[in-house]
């Protein structure tokens, strides 16, 4: 009997050892956490770098001297560079009040989010303001790799009443938008839907986008221009999507803020020869001083969209800049 009890104790001890070993293995496995993502730009350097680029961009955009083109090439990229060059070229046509309304603040620049290490291109989403109105302005900075400086890839004031949800902390960076997996709609599809919804004539309704003031404004403006020349000819307006510029995922991946470019073409065709005087900025860009039969105005457009994980996307920012004109 004692031997029987001894054997049971031995078996129990072996079982306890096995359980302890299993517990230890389980504990070790549970303590192993995925490494936290790292930002493409350290938090300590992000604000200084962003402020420097914004200040350089503001100065370059208003530089009408011989050094202006080189300064803008150093601080802007893509369609934003074309728009900055056109902005500088048309500055002489602006009134003092208009110039004051366009002035961007170079102090108080906030970094809302940065991309993660390993994602290309590197991105920083920055917020500044218009000096006069204090309205928020979103600036997307991009750099192809760690050896290249950041440049302005997109810039647009936020629409009145619009909001932008938080991004992941700068200490861990925000995930890239990529092809838009996990979003309510692909960014390219939302951009196409926006373009179709504001064309004139015959805009197309869409369920991908919530109603917003800029879409209403674009449709109303096109209708007013058409009415203004209806006795002399016809007017049409098309918005051609040029693609997604960049963007970052919102906090926890619950959506994304996306920047995209379009080109707007306003076309005027007169039924009979007439004499229409174009706006001064049209003349400065194209040399066109008189329209007698037809004209085409080309304008760069930038939109900032918030695309959630579910539900309709929202336009939260919009800007445009006339870049060319042709006519006879």
- Asked whether residue 302 carries a pLDDT value surpassing 90, the answer given is yes
Residues 6+ apart with CB under 8 A from 321: 83, 86, 87, 299, 300
Q: What is the pLDDT of residue 35?
A: 81
Q: Which residues, listed in sequence order, are joined to residue 80 by a DSSP beta bridge?
A: none
pLDDT of residue 233: 92
Could you tell me how far CA 117 lies from the centroid of its own chain? 20
pLDDT at 194: 98
Show the DSSP H helices in the chain as ranges: 2-30, 43-61, 68-75, 79-90, 96-102, 187-197, 213-228, 280-286
* Per-residue CA distances from 101 to 105, 134, 169, 181, 193 (Å): 11, 10, 32, 39, 30
Q: What is the pLDDT of residues 3-45, one digit of tens each?
A: 444 444 444 444 434 333 434 444 454 556 678 899 999 999 9
Mean pLDDT (the chain) is 90
**pTM score of the predicted model:** 0.88
Question: Is 90 exceeded by the pLDDT of residue 219?
Answer: yes
Distance CA 299, CA 198 (A): 14
Token readout for 169 is 């902390």
Q: How is the chain split into domains, by residue range?
A: 43-327
What's 136's DSSP letter? E
- % pLDDT > 90, the chain: 80
Model confidence at 207: pLDDT above 90: yes
- pLDDT for position 32: 61
């Amino acid at each position: 009997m004692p031997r029987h009890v001894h054997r049971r104790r031995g078996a129990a001890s072996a079982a306890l050892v096995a359980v302890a070993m299993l517990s230890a293995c389980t504990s070790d496995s549970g303590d192993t956490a995925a490494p936290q993502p790292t930002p493409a730009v350290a938090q300590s350097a992000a604000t200084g770098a962003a402020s420097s680029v914004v200040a350089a961009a503001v100065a370059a955009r208003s530089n009408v001297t011989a050094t202006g083109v080189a300064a803008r090439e150093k601080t802007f990229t893509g369609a934003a560079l074309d728009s900055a060059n056109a902005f500088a070229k048309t500055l002489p046509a602006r009134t003092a009040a208009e110039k004051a309304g366009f002035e961007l603040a170079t102090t108080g620049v906030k970094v809302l989010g940065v991309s993660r290490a390993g994602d290309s291109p590197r991105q920083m989403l920055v917020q500044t303001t218009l000096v006069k109105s204090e309205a928020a302005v979103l600036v997307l900075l991009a750099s192809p790799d760690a050896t290249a400086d950041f440049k302005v890839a997109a810039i647009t004031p936020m629409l009145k009443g619009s909001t932008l949800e938080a991004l992941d902390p700068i200490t861990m960076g925000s995930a890239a938008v990529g092809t838009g997996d996990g979003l309510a709609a692909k960014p390219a599809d939302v951009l196409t839907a926006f373009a179709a919804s504001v064309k004139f004539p015959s805009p197309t309704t869409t369920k991908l986008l919530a109603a917003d003031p800029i879409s209403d404004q674009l449709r109303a403006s096109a209708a007013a221009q058409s009415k203004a020349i209806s006795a002399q000819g016809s007017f049409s307006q098309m918005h051609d999507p040029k693609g997604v510029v960049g963007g970052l995922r919102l906090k926890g991946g619950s959506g994304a803020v996306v920047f995209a470019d379009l080109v707007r073409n306003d076309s005027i065709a007169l039924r009979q020869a007439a004499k229409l005087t174009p706006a001064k900025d049209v003349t400065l860009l194209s040399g066109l001083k008189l329209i007698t039969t037809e004209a085409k105005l080309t304008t760069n457009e930038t939109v900032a969209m918030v695309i959630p994980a579910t539900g309709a996307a929202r336009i939260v920012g919009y800007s445009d800049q006339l870049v060319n004109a042709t006519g006879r």
